[in-house]
Every structure is written in structure tokens, then in C-alpha cells.
């Protein structure tokens, strides 16, 4: 269905073909973020809150694509693309994404990293299929988050980089936003 989201081709309800790209969705999301920056003290927001907001804006941007549904409910996947679940995980870190201990769905995922260090946004987007067992538990009774890092994805799951690239440093793979 969407093994390569660089170019997304979907059928409208009337049977006509609709084409968009990951860059189109990211451009729309970037416009939403620019608007947010005009009405908030964006730089004072925590990285966690920025990532949550960006994830929600990505959902809203994808919702503009025909045959994509964004339910905006925690009990549902982030997106339904042609009836198939797609989760979005967003982080500013160069190699790790986090999620809640009980919210890991076996599903297709878009792993998104962003660089908001200057006026022009840069993105990294990777598509993969993850199982609950791919996520590493914190092991702490006081910290709920699970994590997954780029090394695990590259070494253990099928994936496609849609935007950006990776580089292996001494031990870990790092994302390169573009």
C-alpha cells in the first residue's frame, strides 16, 4: 500500500488517482508550525511538547490527502491510509524515538526527526513496520517510556528512508535531516 511514501498514490472515492509526496505533507506541516510560532513563545516550549505538536500537525497535514483519515484519538492509530494503520513517532533527537509503555501497536510507522535550529525546517522521515517487541522498555517503575533507536531499525526491520539520510558514527547510526 505505501512501501514507498516518497510519492504517495491513492485512489479518491470516485476512483481517480491522487498523487502527493512526503515533501508536500512536510511543507504543509511547516506552514502550520510557522503559524504556531506567530501565536506562541515557541522557543520556550519543551522539546517533548514541540514533538507532540509537530506530530499532531503532521496528522492534520496528512488528513488533507484523499483516502487518509486522521482520527485524532489516542485509542486509534495516528492515521488510516487506505484502511491500513500508520503510526507517527516524532523526535528531535538524532537517533532515538520514545513512546508510552502501553501504546505500542504492531503497525507501519513513520519515524520522523526534525531540525528546527534555524528558520528553515529540516526533516528526516523513515517508514518501517514495528512489532511491540521492537520497543525497549525503560525497566524503571517510575519512568514509563519505551524507546527504539536507529541502530535497531537498521539492523532488525525492513525500512525505507523517505526524506533525509543516516550516517554511522562510532557506534550509533544518526539521522541527517534535509
Tell me the pLDDT tens digit for each residue of 70-127.
Answer: 999 988 999 998 888 889 999 998 899 988 765 678 888 999 999 988 767 899 999 8
Is residue 73 packed enough to be buried (19+ CB in 10 Å), middle (13-18) or exposed (0-12)?
exposed
Structural domains present in the chain = 7-176 (3.40.600)
Residue linked to cell 504517495: 8
pTM, two decimal places: 0.86
Rounded distance between C-alpha atoms, residue 94 and residue 174, angstroms:
5
The pLDDT of residue 20: 61
Residue 162 banded pLDDT, cuts 50, 70, 90 = confident
The pLDDT of residue 4: 40
Rounded distance between C-alpha atoms, residue 27 and residue 21, angstroms:
10
Rounded distance between C-alpha atoms, residue 25 and residue 33, angstroms:
12
Dump pLDDT digits (tens) for 9-40: 444 445 554 456 677 888 888 889 989 999 99
The pLDDT of residue 119: 66
Could you tell me the sign of the dihedral formed by the alpha carbons of 79, 5, 50, 42, in that order? Answer: negative
The pLDDT of residue 9: 47
- How far is CA 162 from each of CA 44, 104, 107, 136, rounded to the nearest angstrom? 30, 22, 17, 24
Dump pLDDT digits (tens) for 53-74: 999 999 999 888 877 899 999 8
Grid coordinates given for 134: 521492537
Question: Is the pLDDT confidence value at 2 over 60?
Answer: no
- Rounded mean pLDDT, 138-166: 87
Is residue 107 packed enough to be buried (19+ CB in 10 Å), middle (13-18) or exposed (0-12)?
middle
- Rounded mean pLDDT, 121-145: 84
Amino acid at each position: 500500500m505505501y512501501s514507498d511514501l516518497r510519492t504517495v498514490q491513492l485512489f479518491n472515492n470516485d476512483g481517480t488517482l491522487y498523487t502527493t509526496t512526503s515533501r508536500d505533507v512536510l511543507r504543509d506541516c511547516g506552514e502550520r508550525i510557522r503559524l504556531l510560532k506567530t501565536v506562541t513563545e515557541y522557543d520556550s516550549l519543551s522539546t517533548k511538547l514541540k514533538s507532540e505538536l509537530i506530530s499532531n500537525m503532521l496528522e492534520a497535514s496528512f488528513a488533507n490527502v484523499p483516502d487518509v483519515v486522521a482520527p485524532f484519538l489516542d485509542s486509534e492509530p495516528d492515521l488510516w491510509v487506505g484502511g491500513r494503520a500508520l503510526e507517527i513517532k516524532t523526535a528531535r533527537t538524532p537517533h532515538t524515538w520514545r513512546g508510552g509503555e502501553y501504546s505500542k501497536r504492531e503497525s507501519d510507522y513513520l519515524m520522523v526527526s526534525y531540525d528546527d535550529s534555524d528558520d528553515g525546517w529540516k526533516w528526516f522521515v523513515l517508514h518501517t513496520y514495528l512489532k511491540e517487541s521492537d520497543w525497549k522498555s525503560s525497566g524503571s517503575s517510575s519512568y514509563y517510556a519505551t524507546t527504539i533507536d536507529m541502530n535497531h531499525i537498521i539492523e532488525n526491520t525492513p525500512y525505507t528512508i523517505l526524506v533525509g539520510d543516516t550516517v554511522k558514527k562510532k557506534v550509533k547510526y544518526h539521522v541527517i535531516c534535509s
